[in-house]
C-alpha cells in the first residue's frame, strides 16, 4: 500500500514538474507583446538585444518568470509547514506576521531613508519579515505550558494587527510613502530584476532543505504532540526548525514579490485532498505546484485587462478568497 501511495506521489510530482515547464514557456511567450515560441528559443540561445522581442524576453519575462518560480514554490512550502506545525488547514505564512513585518520594514526604508527601488528595499522586507516571525515565535513559546498551535496563532494575529495599524498610520500621513508602497503591497512579479533575486536564492535554498527534512516530524505532529513525544520525537525541535524555514521561505518570497496572500493556504490544502496527509509528498509536489499557480496567475493577469495588467497577487487573492470561505463553512475542517 505504501508502495502504491509512493508511486502515485511520484507520478503527481512529475505531472507538477511538467506543468511547471509548460507554464515557464507560456510565461515567456504571452504578454502585451506576444512572442512566438521560435523567437523565445532564439532569444535564449542566440540573444540579440537589438531585436525588440529578444529584449522583452531577456529583460522582462525571464526575471518575472524566475521570481514567480521562486516565490510560488517558497510560499507553498511555507504554507505546508505552517499547516503541519499548527494542525490547522487555515494556517498560512501570514500567521507568523511575515507580511505585516515586511510591510512595516519597507515603509521604514521609504520614509526614513528615501529608498524607492525594489532592489533597495528587498533587504528591509526580508529583515522585517524575519524579525516579526521571531517575535511571534518567542512570545508564542513563553509560559509554563510552552508552545501550542492555538498560542502561536493568537500571537501571530496580535502582532499582525499591531503592525498593520502602524502601516496604516504611516500611509495616511505620507503621500510619498503611499505612492511607492502601493506598487509593492499588491504583490506582483514586475519591476524586479535578477539582481533582486540573487539576494534571496541562498535563504530560499536553506529554507527548502529544512522544510524537506521536517517531513517526518510533521507526519508525527499530525498524530498529536503527546503521541509524537511518546514515539521519541522532539516536537519542540521540529516546530523550531519549521518556524526557521518558514521565515526564510516566506520572508524571501515577500521580499521579491510583495505580500502575496492565500497561495500558501490554497496549494497545500488542494494537494491534501489529492495526495493525503503524507508531508513528504505534500512538500515535494507543493513546491512545483506553487510555482505553477503563481505563474498562471501572472499570465492570466497579463491578458484579462488589456492593454494594462492585473498584478499576480490580486489574481491569487481573487481565487483564494472563495477557497478560504469554503474552508470556514465546512464543519470539522478547522482544528487547533
Q: Is residue 163 one of the residues assigned to a domain? A: yes
Q: Is residue 305 one of the residues assigned to a domain? A: yes
DSSP class of residue 141 equals T
Q: Is residue 336 one of the residues assigned to a domain? A: no
Q: Please state the three-class secondary structure of 83-137 as a single string.
A: HHHHCCCCCCHHHHCHHHHHHHHHHHHHHHHCCCCHHHHHHHHHHHHHHHHHHHH
* Per-residue pLDDT tens over the stretch 56-82: 999 999 999 999 999 999 999 999 998
**Which range has highest mean pLDDT (12-16, 83-87, 272-276)?**
12-16
pLDDT at 211: 96
Q: Is residue 334 one of the residues assigned to a domain? A: no
pLDDT at 335: 47
- Number of structural domains found in the chain: 1
Q: Is residue 234 one of the residues assigned to a domain? A: yes
Q: Is residue 260 one of the residues assigned to a domain? A: yes
Domain holding 190, by residue range, is 2-329
Q: Is residue 222 one of the residues assigned to a domain? A: yes
Confidence of residue 30 (pLDDT cuts 50, 70, 90): very high
**Mean pLDDT throughout 13-42?**
93
* Per-residue pLDDT tens over the stretch 276-325: 889 999 999 999 999 999 999 999 999 888 878 888 988 998 877 787 67
Q: Are 98 and 250 in contact (CB under 8 A)?
A: yes
**CATH label of the domain that carries residue 130:** 1.10.3470.10
- The per-residue pLDDT of the chain, averaged, comes to 86
Examine the pLDDT at 263 and tell me if it is beyond 80. yes
Assigned C-alpha cell, 226: 503527546
* Separation of alpha carbons 115 and 93, rounded Å: 26
pLDDT at 336: 44
Q: Is residue 282 one of the residues assigned to a domain? A: yes
Examine the pLDDT at 198 and tell me if it is beyond 80. yes
Q: Are 77 and 249 in contact (CB under 8 A)?
A: yes
Amino acid at each position: 500500500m505504501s508502495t502504491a501511495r509512493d508511486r502515485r506521489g511520484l507520478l503527481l510530482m512529475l505531472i507538477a514538474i511538467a506543468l511547471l515547464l509548460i507554464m515557464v514557456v507560456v510565461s515567456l511567450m504571452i504578454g502585451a507583446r506576444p512572442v512566438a515560441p521560435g523567437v523565445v528559443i532564439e532569444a535564449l540561445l542566440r540573444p540579440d538585444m537589438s531585436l525588440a522581442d529578444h529584449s522583452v524576453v531577456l529583460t522582462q519575462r525571464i526575471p518575472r518568470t524566475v521570481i514567480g518560480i521562486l516565490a510560488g514554490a517558497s510560499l507553498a512550502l511555507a504554507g505546508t509547514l505552517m499547516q503541519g506545525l499548527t494542525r490547522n488547514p487555515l494556517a498560512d505564512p501570514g500567521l507568523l506576521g511575515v507580511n505585516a513585518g515586511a510591510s512595516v520594514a519597507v515603509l521604514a526604508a521609504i520614509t526614513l531613508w528615501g529608498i524607492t527601488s525594489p532592489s533597495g528595499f528587498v533587504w528591509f522586507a526580508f529583515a522585517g519579515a524575519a524579525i516579526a516571525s521571531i517575535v511571534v515565535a518567542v512570545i508564542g513559546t513563553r509560559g509554563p505550558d510552552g508552545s501550542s498551535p492555538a498560542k502561536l496563532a493568537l500571537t501571530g494575529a496580535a502582532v499582525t494587527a499591531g503592525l498593520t495599524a502602524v502601516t496604516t498610520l504611516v500611509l495616511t500621513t505620507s503621500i510619498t510613502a503611499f505612492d511607492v508602497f502601493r506598487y509593492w503591497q499588491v504583490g506582483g512579479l514586475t519591476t524586479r530584476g535578477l539582481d533582486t533575486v540573487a539576494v534571496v536564492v541562498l535563504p530560499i535554498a536553506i529554507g527548502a532543505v529544512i522544510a524537506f527534512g521536517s517531513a517526518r516530524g510533521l507526519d508525527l505532529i499530525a498524530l498529536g504532540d503527546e503521541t509524537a513525544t511518546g514515539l521519541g520525537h522532539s516536537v519542540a525541535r521540529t516546530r523550531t526548525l519549521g518556524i526557521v524555514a518558514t521565515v526564510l521561505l516566506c520572508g524571501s518570497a515577500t521580499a521579491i514579490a510583495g505580500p502575496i496572500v492565500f497561495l500558501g493556504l490554497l496549494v497545500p490544502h488542494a494537494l491534501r485532498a489529492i495526495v493525503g496527509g503524507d508531508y513528504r509528498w505534500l512538500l515535494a509536489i507543493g513546491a512545483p505546484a506553487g510555482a505553477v499557480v503563481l505563474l498562471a496567475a501572472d499570465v492570466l493577469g497579463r491578458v484579462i485587462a488589456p492593454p494594462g495588467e492585473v498584478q499576480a497577487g490580486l489574481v491569487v487573492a481573487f481565487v483564494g478568497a472563495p477557497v478560504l470561505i469554503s474552508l470556514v463553512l465546512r464543519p470539522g475542517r478547522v482544528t487547533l
